[in-house]
Amino acid sequence: MKTSFLAIVLCSALGLLGLSGGARADTIRRYDCSTDGVDREPMGDRDEHVIISLQYTCHLADGPLRDATITAISVSELDGQKGTSLASLDIHHAIDGFAVGQLLEGTAFLIMRDKRPLGIAASGKMVFKFASGSLAALSGKAVNFTTKPAGFGRFEMEFSDWPEAAQPK
């Protein structure tokens, strides 16, 4: 169960890497995320070495565009308390907008409390391979992301460097 929980949190965090920006470094978007499903495959070479695929959904946490969502799948390698994101594909939905983000790079670290896994903190970068409508400013842009645990099966994700033109008015 410990590894499954870690896998869920790791993949969730890493899968959301995919936003891109380029206008202002101080422009941030924050999402509340929940895990929809997880698959854990032990590598068999040593304990705690697994490949995890995670499906998750996120909702914009604040701001005028509360209906914005992300659906995503992420695949990560977890080796003990350190993780590496292998692949992630995010689909961003907004009012009159659509974008597809792809992971460029990502790392994660298991957060422990009282010798029990609390969740995963992750960071990385993703690029938007396609964007249209109200999210068209994201097309070809790269954004940085960070995640932090927010309870069992939940995490918060922040994207920085979100393009000014893609901010809701």
Q: What percent of the chain has pLDDT over 90?
A: 43
Does pTM surpass 0.95? no
Average pLDDT of the chain is 80
Predicted local confidence at residue 17, as pLDDT: 36
Q: Count how many residues are written for the chain.
A: 169
Buried b (16+ CB within 10 A) or exposed e, 99-122: bbbbbbebebebeeeeeebbbbbb
pLDDT above 80: residue 56: yes
Predicted local confidence at residue 18, as pLDDT: 36
pLDDT above 60: residue 13: no
Q: What is the pLDDT of residues 70-103, one digit of tens each?
A: 999 998 898 988 999 999 999 999 988 999 999 9
Q: Which of 76, 86, 82, 75 is nearest to 110 (CA)?
A: 82
Predicted local confidence at residue 123, as pLDDT: 92
pLDDT, average across residues 99-117: 87
Task: Annotate 91-153 with DSSP letters as a single string.
Answer: EEEETTEEEEEEEEEEEEEEEEETTEEEEEEEEEEEEEEEEEETTGGGTT-EEEEEEEE-STT
pLDDT above 90: residue 46: no
Whether residue 14 contacts residue 88, with contact meaning beta carbons closer than 8 Å, is answered with: yes
